[in-house]
């Protein structure tokens, strides 16, 4: 009897545990269906609104791509959900509707900036969701859908960030302009260096052989060489003067001696 009760309790606890796991799993899957489906519908609604309100051609092109791509993703999601006996929501969430109402109140360039800000925020959230589900979801079909859709959403996010930066003229563009200025500056320095080298080559155009390729770039060596040459020249001149003076003195001495002897003999 005791063994029977122990077994019955074990089976009961196992059943409860399995029920809890299944309930949690169902909740996770329901959250996935809802977030992806409502995210698609929100992007389509915002895109259609931008097509009506925006005067910016780039924004309108982006909006049209959002409508096209998210409509296709929504249809594929509906097919997958039907195969899993899952029911997708028929409308966007209350928070999303509130954001749409705020967007609808904007006009002109203000509308464009707010629309692109929304696109960056929403696609960043969706990209993180799809990346997580592509790795962790227990359903192979959902994992495959998430893995297939993630690159599309990531591409939308990159486009949205670029366009958002362009509309707001923020530090991202400033950084890119500074980088471009740096490249131009380096290019100008390189050009100046080439011009300087070309000028040096023209100055030596009368030389032959490899003289133009080996310019004199060691003024210290030249100075030392010149100094040595001058010193040697000075020493040579000094020695020559000394010898000349000495010879002259000897010659004068001999002349005087001969003269004295001649005078003595006459006397």
* Whether 44 contacts 67, CB under 8 Å: yes
Going by pLDDT thresholds of 50, 70 and 90, the confidence category of residue 50 is: very high
Q: What does the alpha-carbon distance between residue 242 and residue 90 come to, in Å, rounded to a whole number?
A: 120
DSSP three-state, residue 106: coil
Is residue 149 in some structural domain?
A: yes
For the cut 90, the answer to whether the pLDDT of residue 40 exceeds it is yes
For the cut 90, the answer to whether the pLDDT of residue 115 exceeds it is yes
Q: What is the domain extent for residue 34?
A: 29-86+104-170
Write down the pLDDT at residue 17. 57
More confident of the two residues 99 and 207: 99
Write down the pLDDT at residue 142. 96
Is residue 34 in some structural domain?
A: yes
Is residue 237 in some structural domain?
A: no
* Whether 86 contacts 45, CB under 8 Å: no
Write down the pLDDT at residue 27. 62
pLDDT digits (tens, 9 = 90+) for 1-25: 667 777 767 766 666 655 543 444 4
Q: What does the alpha-carbon distance between residue 126 and residue 132 come to, in Å, rounded to a whole number?
A: 10
**pLDDT, average across residues 122-140:** 96
More confident of the two residues 203 and 59: 59
Highest mean pLDDT among 56-60, 178-182, 219-223: 56-60
Instruction: Look over the chain and give the mean of its residue pLDDT values, rounded to a whole number.
Output: 73
**Tokens read off for 162:** 């670029």
Is residue 153 in some structural domain?
A: yes
Q: What does the alpha-carbon distance between residue 80 and residue 76 come to, in Å, rounded to a whole number?
A: 6
Write down the pLDDT at residue 21. 39
84 DSSP assignment? T
Is residue 74 in some structural domain?
A: yes
**pLDDT, average across residues 105-124:** 97
Write down the pLDDT at residue 196. 42
Q: What does the alpha-carbon distance between residue 118 and residue 112 come to, in Å, rounded to a whole number?
A: 10
Is residue 3 in some structural domain?
A: no
Write down the pLDDT at residue 138. 93
Write down the pLDDT at residue 202. 44
CA distances from 105 to 7, 115, 158 (A): 65, 11, 26
CATH for 48: 1.20.1260.10
Is residue 251 in some structural domain?
A: no
For the cut 70, the answer to whether the pLDDT of residue 124 exceeds it is yes
pLDDT digits (tens, 9 = 90+) for 81-106: 999 999 999 999 999 999 999 999 99
Share of the chain above pLDDT 90, in %: 51
Q: How many domains does the chain have?
A: 1
Write down the pLDDT at residue 7. 75
| Cβ atoms within 10 Å of 195's Cβ, excluding its own | 10
**pLDDT, average across residues 175-197:** 42
Is pTM, for the whole model, over 0.85? Answer: no
Q: What are phi and psi of 228, to 5 degrees?
A: -65, -40
Going by pLDDT thresholds of 50, 70 and 90, the confidence category of residue 206 is: very low
For the cut 70, the answer to whether the pLDDT of residue 150 exceeds it is yes
**Tokens read off for 124:** 């960043």
Q: Show Cβ contacts of residue 83 under 8 Å, excluding neighbours closer than 6 positions.
A: 141
For the cut 90, the answer to whether the pLDDT of residue 227 exceeds it is no
Write down the pLDDT at residue 28. 56
Is residue 94 in some structural domain?
A: no
């Amino acid at each position: 009897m005791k063994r029977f009760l122990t077994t019955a309790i074990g089976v009961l606890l196992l059943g409860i545990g399995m029920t809890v796991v299944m309930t949690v799993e169902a909740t996770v899957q329901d959250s996935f269906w809802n977030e992806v489906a409502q995210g698609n519908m929100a992007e389509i609604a915002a895109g259609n609104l931008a097509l009506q309100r925006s005067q910016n051609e780039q924004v309108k092109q982006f909006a049209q791509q959002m409508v096209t791509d998210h409509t296709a993703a929504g249809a594929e999601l509906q097919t997958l959900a039907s195969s899993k006996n899952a029911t997708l929501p028929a409308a966007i969430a209350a928070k999303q509707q509130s954001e749409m109402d705020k967007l609808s109140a904007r006009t002109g360039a203000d509308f464009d900036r707010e629309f692109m800000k929304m696109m960056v925020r929403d696609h960043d959230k969706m990209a993180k969701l799809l990346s997580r589900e592509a790795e962790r979801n227990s359903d192979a079909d959902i994992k495959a859908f998430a893995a297939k859709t993630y690159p599309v959403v990531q591409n939308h996010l990159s486009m949205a960030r670029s366009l958002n930066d362009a509309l707001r003229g923020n530090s991202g563009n400033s950084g890119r302009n500074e980088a471009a200025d740096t490249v131009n500056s380096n290019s100008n320095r390189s050009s100046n260096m080439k011009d300087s080298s070309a000028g040096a080559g023209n100055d030596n155009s009368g030389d032959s052989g490899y003289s133009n390729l080996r310019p004199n770039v060691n003024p210290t060596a030249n100075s030392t060489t010149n100094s040595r040459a001058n010193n040697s020249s000075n020493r040579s001149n000094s020695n020559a003067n000394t010898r000349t003076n000495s010879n002259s003195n000897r010659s004068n001495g001999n002349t005087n001696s001969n003269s004295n002897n001649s005078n003595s003999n006459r006397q």
